[in-house]
Structure 1
């Protein structure tokens, strides 16, 4: 029996196909212009760009110009690249221009599709950002597609790691800028720490097209981008609080070993409050008052250090350092540190030197960064499984673009084995069989470790001619992946490896020219060599087609269906034949989550023998449901992260907008005067309450505060004894005295110098308070989780207390600015430019917990150029000259491996030493 919905789909097509059909008349309009444009000279075609810009200046919108602009880009691509957009690529371009996600199969030419909406949006002159997942793709695509844009008279820039601010500013000033998501995010954060408007490198967030949009907006969005710097020395505070821990008894705290959590009981909290009060560290009456949020964070860390972490099990003490022991491998992890002050708490516990804690200087999630763009679009091969998240978080629709040619790939049902050993035995045999029949095979694994384990097994089986991709986002990797379609090629890679690189049967001509003919100069010899390469690739393609096309073999299902679909989609490009198959075992992570014990019993009863596999569509469906549950859980994690970051984001916008207003203002005289007057209002209101008699005024305290904050010695006590005086009179005298002191300072230093000092002091004070605020928010976030036990919503608690902390920040800003300006003196005649603090970049991989930029993060300070002298001075034979090295950086020894897989690999030490 066919459901009504199924019948409607058969008669009318799916909603996606109906939507795609609406673009077809526009495609016909574009095609109708092709002959006319083909008759234009190169200069006449290039002149179209200025003509379009003139029309926009005259009031037309880019939507009005879509048809002629797309037709112009198609003609430009034919001349600059020798590539003509297919009709389905035109549809993809229209989807992107409309601010949606175009889901296009691997090999359908997403990179070329991007030229259409990018050119159209660039006509407005506000800058278009094309976002890639790594530097290699940013450089490749800007160079490759840049030929089209430059041919049509547009400018193209590319942002990669290691550029100076001046180089970045020039790249952002171009019509089109290619960059990675990390570079864009960090540039935005650094811009909002600058002291002059002309020091900022970005010029706004107009339109962005994100390549591999699911990878950037889903996979990498589970953790925020963070810029950190060293915090002031708090070692005394850590040691003081650590000294309280031995005074606690077992009744003072509760330990949950399963959840690895520990918390204070009511008795413990009261005891701790008495100890903190005696030590002068408690503000107010209760430990849980908002002023004590940082102290709560410190005492919780000290309690964890003493009650949850054990020496020689979780860490060892060596060379005056705490060295973490990996809980899974038992190996020491030198260089790794626990975050958020826990490492410092352990250092205080063990009596070793307490290292400075890193504080967050600025942070933002990718969700909130990319939502700043007026228009956002993306393209990928796999987005439909996450369509609801793209809609909820980014307000982006997903449109599946039909393939240019029908898909011929055969997707086999999964083979399920009882044990991982049986599964890998079967995989090794299947790989050997494919290699013998010369069918190119791409083997997908879920981790580098599993890739290496499978490679070792193949070597033992006698198969030696294969490639293992250990590096991620590397030029070498792109070449290996591009050649994975050569007959007999065996390529073992993690599921995400080589993303953005097309696997063509027979091999990739451009890659081979680049690799094999790099030394051959232009001329007849080079042309003959290129012709020979073309003949060779055509021969290899015929052989690969005859063997069945690319065979994608997956060794495990990923927790996300999307990653599986990415791997599967590498086969069967542009109507080529192909095959895909997943090999699973009941010991795989996903199968264990699904409930392997019950299934194991069932398969044993069915008589499943050793080395036999079960293949059934029911298993595929059951696994898909398990994956959907994991996807839903991960979506909740990202949604929860965003809810908390939205609270901070509202405050971040206020601070960043305020900074830009301060930088743009010609003078801050009124602002600092208002701050000074408001500070005086608060001081007087606190010490001279309304309706209080003069004898009740706290004149001694007010005199001291005026001396401290306004740098003035005023006879407040004498004024209070005058007949008929009231608080308004006292306030006016203080205001007049402070105004006179400010006028005197301006007279001595000069108006221009005072304007410069005022701007510098206000901006630096805003920045210092914002950093303190971020630390407080981090501490608050970790503390509010416990409010759930009291039946209170942690998010609502976080919102209300974060608001109170922000109000306190604004009050402190007035007082601290006034205090600094009242005490500032010119020591040297020339003014000194304020400099950015030492900064490091961090982005934690949500799946491994490893910092993408290495243990210590990556330096972002302006005077550091990673592509420059720092690296040139490294001696490959002498590790002492290497300095700080990112974990994903190439090892300076010259091995070709990443640092983390070479000299940076963790060594197995005697953990009892």
Structure 2
């Protein structure tokens, strides 16, 4: 009997059905224009783009331009690529333009779909970013779809790692820019560390279409992007700690696999203390609980995590003397990514490879906050419905399921659950052999490199030819996926999320044509294509007869979405296919999250060896377990975002202020406001409000004015005058400091002085922001303990984070004022001495200084009082070659590593 909800859906349709139905009118309007646009010449198609741009610039809404823009884009794609978009592809494009996530099944042509909303929104002239998960897809999609944009009279940009600044700026200046999510985030951070506006690459955040949106906005949302610089080398400590960890016994620690955490027990702490003292790591008489032991405890905890939670060939691989992380969701290597807080170094010590120095954070942002910068955001994926709540609450994105062009003919079988892993793998090999014998291509999904290689060995023993796709075969990825649909092919793959290459039954024509032309460059391309198309068509008919692609998954993933992505590789565009999941009670998901009830039922059934239980009830039980994990992961990401929002508000304030300073012609007024604020603070500190003159610390004020403003004014005499109060003292200090700076402007010349002020201000903002980030990181790591005192850690973090931010701004004002008060033009003799010293250093070191050339002699150069002759804040070539622990040449009195050496 149907419930009320089911009856209502039958009568009124689901909300998704209603959205699709309402949008079909727009599709009909586009189709009605098709004949008109087919009649246009290639030049007229480009002219239409210019006409649409002009209308958009005059204020006509993009919604009004949509039918014509989509019709023009469809015709351009048909001519450039030979692809005429289906109605459902137009539907997907409309949903993207509206700022939704379009859930489209694998093989429905998402790459082409993105061109429609990208073209429409690029008419505004503000640029559109199409975001994909790896460099290969960026280049492939930009080259492929760039032909469509070129036919429309628009240019396409590419942004990938390793480009020069000029290439980056050109990439972002294009009408439509293809880029990876990582590079977009890093460029945003780099731009906000630049010294001038013209050096910045990005030109704003207008509209982004994110491909594999669930992978980028959900799976990777827990990890912030961090730009970091090296700190002190502590590799000896990591190595010493690493020698102790293998001696640890089970009673010394507890592991919580659900929370992915591991902690020492009381017995473990006692044992550890003894061993650390014996190894000379912990000083005699010092306890692990002493504040001085914080660093050692941190290192030991990271060593324990490295050994007990991170596994080789699952979480990382070792290649070319380095530990390379593996993305748990896509199975790809994440070259250049490192774990923070010394965890990566602990893994390097465990694996015996070179230990790289720890890094300090210079700038960071999460994907959640980066993508919320865009005025409009949209996404595409094959699987988003399971995370609709998260997309809605964090990004304000709706999820719309776009109907398939043809009905899905794939058979999804119930899960088969075995008692042990050995029984499961035995059944998998038997199933693969059965499918292979009738020529049915098989795609085998595994969750780690280790398991994919173990299964590969089993198939080799059985003399079954196969391909393996995991992080080790990263380079051959497109080729292996293109061959996976051939007659009798067997492909083992770790995680098929976001692979971006369709598995086409019978093989991939484009790939085979390219290979054939590479092998015989003199062959006629037309003949080669015709021959290969005929071969593939013949093989495709055999594969269809064998039942299409068989997706065989070796276990369930923590997320239903990843399972659905793997399943969706079969049955594209109405092709037949089948999918099945083989599980055992030893699988991680079953062991950690599966209900104990399921285990009892299986044991009670008295199953024979090699026998499986297959029942819809088992599927439901597993889905509940997965939903539990997804819920937990959502909570973790929500919590991360709440904490990051605190930093994000501050980040936006600092970055906006920085941009204003870079764009300002004259920042003399900003510098004056800062100086006056510093004077206010000094007067309030030494001559507190509502106090009498005999309670004032005039000597302290006099010393502070010399130290901070570099002024020797008769402050003590002023204070003794009749009728002088705090306000009069304040005004006199304002006047004296303004006069002092006016003299400097005269000595330097107005343009040079304004440049110096700008450089000092920007470099000081950057240094203070770096220090502030480090302080916030430390605060974040300990704030959780406030919960034990019945105080909300988030509220505590907000309050203290705000106080730290205010104190950073105070410190910024003070330092900029101090630096500007001390600069002076240097004499020609001092300049010559600096140039001579530089020439000597260059000859001794036999290397070219790649810094900016010295300025012409007739321009004065900024130096601080007490600085070494010729020292220039903005030119590292004038800093000499001090050791890390030597005094800084700027004259601040601090060690070089804590001052300019930290830049």
Q: Shorter-normalised TM-score: what interval?
A: 0.7 to 0.9
Q: Is the 8 A contact 2:442 2:489 kept in 1?
A: yes
Q: Which residue of 2 aligns with 1:908?
A: none
Q: Distance in 1 between matches of 2:156 and 2:717?
A: 71
Q: Distance in 2 between matches of 1:163 and 1:666?
A: 30
Q: Report the more deviating stretch, 3-12 or 649-658.
A: 3-12
Q: Does 1:439 align with 2:430?
A: no
The offset of 1:255, in angstroms, is 11
The offset of 1:57, in angstroms, is 2.6
The offset of 1:726, in angstroms, is 3.0
Q: Which residue of 2 aligns with 1:169?
A: 169
Residue number among 300, 309, 312 corresponding to 2:300 in the alignment: 309
Map Cα deviations across residues 354-387 of structure 1 (whole Å, 9 max, x no partner): 9975221111111111111111111110001111
Q: Which residue of 2 aligns with 1:906?
A: none
The offset of 1:335, in angstroms, is 6.3
SS in 2 for 1:614: coil
Structure 2: tracts of 5 or more residues without a match: 242-251, 267-287, 324-337, 349-353, 832-853, 856-860, 862-871, 878-903
Q: Provide the TM-score with structure 1 as the length reference.
A: 0.80
Q: Is the 8 A contact 2:262 2:304 kept in 1?
A: no
Q: Distance in 1 between matches of 2:254 and 2:406?
A: 58
Q: Is the 8 A contact 2:497 2:562 kept in 1?
A: no
Q: Which residue of 2 aligns with 1:907?
A: none
Q: Is the 8 A contact 2:516 2:528 kept in 1?
A: no
Q: Distance in 2 between matches of 1:594 and 1:733?
A: 72
Q: How does 1:619-658 map to 2 (within 5 A)?
A: 619-658=618-657
Q: How does 1:787-866 map to 2 (within 5 A)?
A: 787-827=786-826, 828=831, 830=855, 834=874
- Cα–Cα, structure 1 residues 748 and 649, in superposed 2: closer, same or farther, change >3 Å? same
The offset of 1:113, in angstroms, is 0.9
SS in 2 for 1:557: coil
Q: Distance in 2 between matches of 1:299 and 1:577?
A: 66
The offset of 1:298, in angstroms, is 12
Q: Which residue of 2 aligns with 1:28?
A: 28
Q: Distance in 2 between matches of 1:440 and 1:346?
A: 39
Map Cα deviations across residues 792-841 of structure 1 (whole Å, 9 max, x no partner): 0000000011111111111111111101111123445726794899xxxx
Q: How does 1:652-667 map to 2 (within 5 A)?
A: 652-667=651-666
Q: Report the more deviating stretch, 58-67 or 353-362.
A: 353-362
- Cα–Cα, structure 1 residues 803 and 498, in superposed 2: closer, same or farther, change >3 Å? closer
- Cα–Cα, structure 1 residues 341 and 103, in superposed 2: closer, same or farther, change >3 Å? closer
Q: Report the more deviating stretch, 14-23 or 145-154.
A: 14-23
Map Cα deviations across residues 688-730 of structure 1 (whole Å, 9 max, x no partner): 1234333332233222222221122334334434444333333
Q: Distance in 2 between matches of 1:780 and 1:693?
A: 40
Structure 1: tracts of 5 or more residues without a match: 243-253, 265-296, 316-323, 348-352, 838-913
Q: Which residue of 2 aligns with 1:384?
A: 385
Q: Which residue of 1 aligns with 2:882?
A: none
Q: Is the 8 A contact 1:469 1:497 kept in 2?
A: no
The offset of 1:305, in angstroms, is 2.3
Q: Which residue of 2 aligns with 1:4?
A: 4
- Cα–Cα, structure 1 residues 422 and 473, in superposed 2: closer, same or farther, change >3 Å? closer
Q: Does 1:413 align with 2:414?
A: yes
Q: Distance in 1 between matches of 2:178 and 2:339?
A: 35
Q: Distance in 2 between matches of 1:408 and 1:460?
A: 34
Q: Which residue of 2 aligns with 1:288?
A: none
- Cα–Cα, structure 1 residues 202 and 423, in superposed 2: closer, same or farther, change >3 Å? same
Q: Report the more deviating stretch, 720-729 or 83-92.
A: 720-729
Q: Distance in 2 between matches of 1:15 and 1:310?
A: 50
- Cα–Cα, structure 1 residues 26 and 735, in superposed 2: closer, same or farther, change >3 Å? closer
Q: Is the 8 A contact 1:416 1:584 kept in 2?
A: yes
- Cα–Cα, structure 1 residues 595 and 154, in superposed 2: closer, same or farther, change >3 Å? closer
Q: Which residue of 2 aligns with 1:462?
A: 463
Q: Which residue of 1 aligns with 2:375?
A: 374
Q: Which residue of 1 aligns with 2:328?
A: none
Q: Distance in 1 between matches of 2:347 and 2:453?
A: 35
The offset of 1:733, in angstroms, is 3.1
SS in 1 for 2:62: coil
Q: Does 1:116 align with 2:111?
A: no
Q: Distance in 2 between matches of 1:814 and 1:580?
A: 64
Q: Which has the higher contact order (CA 8 A, sep 6+)?
A: 1
Q: Is the 8 A contact 1:262 1:307 kept in 2?
A: no
Map Cα deviations across residues 140-187 of structure 1 (whole Å, 9 max, x no partner): 001101101101100101011110111110111110000000010100
Q: Does 1:448 align with 2:449?
A: yes
- Cα–Cα, structure 1 residues 825 and 520, in superposed 2: closer, same or farther, change >3 Å? farther
Q: Distance in 2 between matches of 1:402 and 1:330?
A: 42
Q: Distance in 1 between matches of 2:160 and 2:656?
A: 27
SS in 2 for 1:221: coil
- Cα–Cα, structure 1 residues 303 and 196, in superposed 2: closer, same or farther, change >3 Å? closer
Q: Is the 8 A contact 2:594 2:625 kept in 1?
A: no
Map Cα deviations across residues 305-331 of structure 1 (whole Å, 9 max, x no partner): 2598399x859xxxxxxxx75666699
Q: Which residue of 1 aligns with 2:868?
A: none
Q: Which residue of 2 aligns with 1:610?
A: 609
Q: Which residue of 2 aligns with 1:426?
A: 427
Q: Distance in 2 between matches of 1:345 and 1:510?
A: 45
The offset of 1:115, in angstroms, is 1.1
Q: How does 1:210-609 map to 2 (within 5 A)?
A: 210-231=210-231, 302-303=293-294, 305-306=296-297, 309=300, 314=304, 339-340=340-341, 357-463=358-464, 465-471=465-471, 474-496=474-496, 499-521=499-521, 525-595=524-594, 598-609=597-608
Q: Is the 8 A contact 2:558 2:630 kept in 1?
A: yes
Q: Distance in 2 between matches of 1:695 and 1:529?
A: 99
Q: Provide the TM-score with structure 2 as the length reference.
A: 0.81
Q: Which residue of 1 aligns with 2:182?
A: 182
Q: Distance in 1 between matches of 2:804 and 2:754?
A: 30
Q: Which residue of 1 aligns with 2:707?
A: 708
SS in 2 for 1:130: strand
- Cα–Cα, structure 1 residues 696 and 131, in superposed 2: closer, same or farther, change >3 Å? same
Q: Distance in 2 between matches of 1:339 and 1:120?
A: 41
SS in 2 for 1:23: helix
Q: Is the 8 A contact 1:305 1:345 kept in 2?
A: no
The offset of 1:207, in angstroms, is 0.6
Q: Distance in 1 between matches of 2:472 and 2:599?
A: 36
Map Cα deviations across residues 39-71 of structure 1 (whole Å, 9 max, x no partner): 111111221101111222333111101111111
- Cα–Cα, structure 1 residues 159 and 308, in superposed 2: closer, same or farther, change >3 Å? closer
Q: Is the 8 A contact 1:427 1:583 kept in 2?
A: yes
Q: Report the more deviating stretch, 827-836 or 537-546.
A: 827-836
Q: How does 1:39-58 map to 2 (within 5 A)?
A: 39-58=39-58
Q: Is the 8 A contact 1:477 1:497 kept in 2?
A: no
Q: Is the 8 A contact 1:212 1:380 kept in 2?
A: yes
Q: Distance in 2 between matches of 1:346 and 1:562?
A: 30
Map Cα deviations across residues 87-139 of structure 1 (whole Å, 9 max, x no partner): 11111111111110110110111111111111111111110000000010010
- Cα–Cα, structure 1 residues 681 and 5, in superposed 2: closer, same or farther, change >3 Å? same
- Cα–Cα, structure 1 residues 746 and 132, in superposed 2: closer, same or farther, change >3 Å? same
Q: Report the more deviating stretch, 69-78 or 592-601.
A: 592-601
Q: Is the 8 A contact 1:230 1:359 kept in 2?
A: yes
Count of matched residue pairs: 773
- Cα–Cα, structure 1 residues 85 and 825, in superposed 2: closer, same or farther, change >3 Å? same
- Cα–Cα, structure 1 residues 597 and 65, in superposed 2: closer, same or farther, change >3 Å? closer
Q: Which residue of 1 aligns with 2:851?
A: none
Q: Distance in 2 between matches of 1:427 and 1:729?
A: 88
Q: Which residue of 2 aligns with 1:840?
A: none
Q: Distance in 1 between matches of 2:658 and 2:624?
A: 49
